[in-house]
Amino acid sequence: MARPSFDITLPDESLREALQARIDDLTKPRGSLGRLEELAMQAGLIQHTLTPALHHPQNIIFAADHGIVSEGVTVAPREVTFQQVCHFTHPNGTGGINFLCRQHGFELKVVDAGVDADLPRDRGIIDRKIARGTDNFLHGPAMSPEQFDRCLATGAEIVRMCAAEGSNVLSFGEMGIGNTSASSIWMSRFTGTPIEDCVGAGSGLSPEGVRHKKEVLARSVEGYRGDGSPEDWMRWFGGFEMVMAVGAMLQAAEMHIIILVDGFIMGACMLGAAQMYPAVKAYAVFGHCGDEAGHRRMLDALGARPLLHLGLRLGEGTGALCAYPILDSAVRMINEMDRFSEASITKYF
């Protein structure tokens, strides 16, 4: 399979003046609704309309296992990836992300990108398994070039599927024990931050565990023998679920779909996507700043202003979904508020 390419351009700015005039004509002091006004502008530019709308929001979880787990970089055992995927797709929806999807009207899709187990196929899990987990990147690349290309293409395929179902706003989540290790290396490489400042406790490491994790990741980076390109770094140290998320983000941007960015892992994926196509960032709404070490630095490197800071570090798309009502409020603002030009209210500025 050839590596997919994407046609990603910045949103058309020709409507900016008209959008600003519409926002300023709403019955409120100019700028008084703050970030809602900025989000309404972003949504209008992305969708190239004065009346942006949000249709059929979906949260896509890509799930896969990581070979680096064998080095003791996490307290959670590898089988938790499989167990959590089963929780996400339980008929009663018992995972952390499920109640938020129900609350905010999101459809949940779960994609088996490379879980080290045979998943139940009667629960609607989308089977796109590349392999039963990546290789251990302490000793060599996590995946082959062919696997990397398949992941990009698969992530793009899933987004096209969602678009065909009417979605114009998507959140991406992940499930993969060990993926904070991969994300820390991506962050270090793509932001120039020392690896020790990118590594956190993940799912609950002790201080000694964090020290060990930093040593393992530093040795892994020292052993890198690739060509130095962003794609090669992602291939060498990434997870199948992470590269699929990169492909999904790039496809969403090409199709002018609003991207809700979750926490540390998905932030690393947006970093990777932006290394390939910088314009992708214009389509991103950053949901929150979490408590994982380095997340604030990562957001700063992306030039991102997260909507929330709730101390979240679960992943799965939870922070993005918590932020979704704010985006929804912005769209409702521009469409539902009275306007000075139509209401019996004096425009006093």
User: 336 CB contacts (<8 Å, ≥6 apart)?
Assistant: none
pLDDT of residue 4: 95
Three-class SS state of 59: strand
pLDDT of residue 161: 98
pLDDT of residue 346: 78
pLDDT of residue 200: 77
Domain ranges of the chain: 58-326
Contact 216, 196 (CB under 8 A): no
pLDDT of residue 213: 95
Q: What is the DSSP letter of 26?
A: B
Low-confidence stretches of the chain (pLDDT < 70) are 202-203, 293
Summarised one tens digit per residue, pLDDT across range 176-231 is 999 999 999 999 999 999 999 999 776 678 999 899 999 999 999 999 999 999 99
CATH 3.40.50.10210 fits 58-326, yes or no: yes
Q: How many helices (H) and strands (E) does the chain have?
A: 12, 6
Annotation says 316 is catalytic: yes
> What is the maximum span of the chain, computed from C-alpha positions, in angstroms?
71
pLDDT, averaged across the chain: 95
pLDDT of residue 293: 67
Q: Active site residue: 71, 254, 292, 316, which one?
A: 316
Measured between its terminal Cα atoms, the distance across the chain in Å is 59
pLDDT of residue 348: 73
Alpha carbons 125 and 131: distance in angstroms, whole number = 16
Reading the block at residue 293, the tokens are: 């070490």
Contact 127, 112 (CB under 8 A): yes
Q: In the chain, which residue ranges form alpha helices assigned H by DSSP? A: 16-24, 34-47, 80-88, 96-104, 145-164, 179-191, 207-222, 230-237, 240-254, 264-276, 295-302, 318-336
Whole-number Cα distances in Å, 75 to 100, 210, 339: 26, 10, 55
